[in-house]
């Protein structure tokens, strides 16, 4: 951990040195020397303090597995300014590349010539470029400020109609509300959480499912919100699975028994809220004399806990039955489910959060998480098998959301060609 913090501090200081070059250019024209020095020294005082605070906060966060408001503030501020400075530096870097080309051109043009008043090979920085860098950097800064103040609770209902040729006729029009990744240990606004729960309940779906990561580590984290989440009810029931965080894998427990006790307590909390946990098992939902099989597996995630067993969940299930699977990590679908010999029609996952940062437009979507996960948000298809990845209800690490908003999914199953 100390090595990680040291490397991050060094990288940040290099970025700060580069940004400082732009700050010097922006302040070069100030008539007041005192003001000029105050801005320049103030920059280093501010960001040196931020780096020290962030390093200490990261150490506290990962040594105690809890984030106090002060710790979270430093983490949020550091990430906000990090992205802001990256944008600023990219603009300066583009100018520096241009300056290098000009310098090379001047060098070869005047090589061997005796010029009584030679121009310096490297042109000076232009103030207008630093002004442009500042203006462009204000965009991510504003977005991150919104993300940590409003965006993390800007719940969006995403509706998706899914077509299946072999959907039982009685389930044509059947609706499922999916919520995922609550991360109760990070939530800091009970009223906002209640608004999200009411929004989910207002969808009046036939079935409610939760696809893992109810907490960050500790079962006690959900206790302040149990009354709210107990309000989620559906005619065909409320079902849930576990995610990687629910096992407490990121906390150093005093013993295996303590970790197991925490997990059992979390399972009891699911039951107390009215959710039936599916642990490598299935239930049969009946409607109009026809059936839909709902499967749920424990966490299976590449690079995380590989625990879930789809074969166990499928035991006793008719191969021709229409099947919906709850599996927390979409890498399970990518590596196991979509090529499994038993056809699973629809898989519902979460886990990625869309990294809580990205861009989504009608023309496409982008997030850094796509370089880790093939399917990280929304719908995916493969050989008549479908996957839907929920972007998450809560947040962790960075206490905010920028461009990838917290999601409540409403899926409508329809009979027909996909």
3-class state of residue 254 by DSSP: coil
Q: Which residues contact 30 (CB under 8 A, 6 or more apart)?
A: 36, 39
Q: What are the strands, taking DSSP E only, across 212-351?
A: 238-241, 276-277, 281-287, 290-296, 323-326, 346-349
Range of the domain at 352: 151-415
Tell whether 164 and 124 lie within a shared domain. Answer: no
Tell whether 138 and 168 lie within a shared domain. Answer: no
Identify the segments of the chain with pLDDT beneath 50: none
Tell whether 374 and 391 lie within a shared domain. Answer: yes
Tell whether 186 and 311 lie within a shared domain. Answer: yes
pLDDT at 238: 98
Cα 277 to the center of its chain, rounded Å: 24
Q: Which of 149, 170, 194 is a domain's end point?
A: 149
Please state at what angle helix 2-27 crosses helix 69-110, rounded to 10 degrees.
60
- Model pTM? 0.90
Tell whether 227 and 186 lie within a shared domain. Answer: yes
Give the span between the Cα atoms of 92 and 103, in whole angstroms.
Answer: 16
Q: Which residues contact 197 (CB under 8 A, 6 or more apart)?
A: 228, 229, 231, 232
Tell whether 177 and 85 lie within a shared domain. Answer: no
Question: How many structural domains are present in the chain?
Answer: 2
Tens of pLDDT, residue by residue over 336-383, are 999 999 999 999 999 999 999 999 998 899 999 999 999 999 999 999
CATH number at residue 264: 3.60.21.10
Tell whether 179 and 222 lie within a shared domain. Answer: yes
Tell whether 145 and 201 lie within a shared domain. Answer: no
Tens of pLDDT, residue by residue over 349-359, are 999 999 999 99
Q: Which of 100, 120, 149 is a domain's end point?
A: 149
């Amino acid at each position: 951990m100390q090595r990680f913090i040291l490397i991050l501090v060094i990288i940040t200081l290099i970025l700060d040195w580069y940004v400082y070059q732009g700050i010097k250019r922006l302040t070069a024209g100030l008539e007041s020397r005192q003001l000029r020095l105050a801005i320049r020294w103030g920059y280093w005082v501010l960001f040196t303090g931020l780096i020290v605070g962030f390093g200490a906060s990261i150490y506290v966060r990962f040594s105690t597995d809890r984030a106090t408001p002060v710790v979270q503030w430093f983490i949020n501020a550091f990430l906000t300014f990090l992205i802001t400075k990256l944008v600023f530096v990219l603009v300066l870097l583009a100018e520096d590349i241009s300056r290098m080309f000009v310098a090379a051109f001047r060098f070869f043009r005047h090589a061997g010539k005796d010029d009584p008043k030679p121009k310096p090979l490297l042109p000076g920085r232009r103030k207008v470029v630093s002004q442009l860098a500042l203006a462009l950097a204000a965009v991510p800064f504003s977005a991150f400020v919104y993300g940590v103040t409003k965006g993390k609770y800007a719940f969006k209902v995403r509706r998706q109609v899914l077509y299946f040729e072999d959907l039982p006729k009685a389930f044509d029009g059947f609706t499922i509300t999916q919520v995922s990744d609550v991360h109760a240990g990070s939530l800091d606004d009970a009223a906002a959480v209640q608004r999200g729960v009411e929004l989910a309940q207002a969808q009046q779906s036939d079935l409610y499912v939760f696809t893992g990561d109810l907490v960050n580590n500790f079962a006690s984290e959900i206790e302040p919100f149990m009354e709210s989440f107990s309000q989620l009810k559906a005619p065909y029931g409320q079902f849930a699975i576990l995610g990687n965080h629910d096992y407490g894998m990121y906390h150093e427990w005093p013993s295996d028994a303590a970790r197991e006790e925490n997990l059992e307590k979390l399972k009891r909390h699911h039951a107390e809220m009215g959710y039936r946990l599916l642990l490598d098992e299935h239930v049969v939902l009946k409607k109009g004399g026809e059936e839909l099989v709902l499967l749920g597996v424990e966490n299976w995630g590449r690079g995380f806990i590989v625990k879930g067993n789809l074969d166990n969940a499928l035991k006793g299930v008719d191969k021709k039955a229409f099947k919906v699977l709850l599996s927390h990590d979409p890498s399970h679908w990518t590596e196991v489910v979509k090529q499994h010999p038993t056809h699973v029609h629809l898989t519902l996952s979460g886990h990625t959060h869309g990294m809580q940062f990205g861009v989504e437009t009608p023309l496409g979507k982008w997030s850094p998480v796509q370089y880790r996960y093939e399917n990280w948000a929304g719908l995916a298809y493969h050989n008549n098998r479908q996957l839907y990845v929920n972007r998450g209800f809560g947040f962790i690490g960075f206490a905010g959301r920028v461009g990838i908003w917290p999601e409540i999914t409403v899926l409508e199953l329809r009979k027909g060609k996909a």
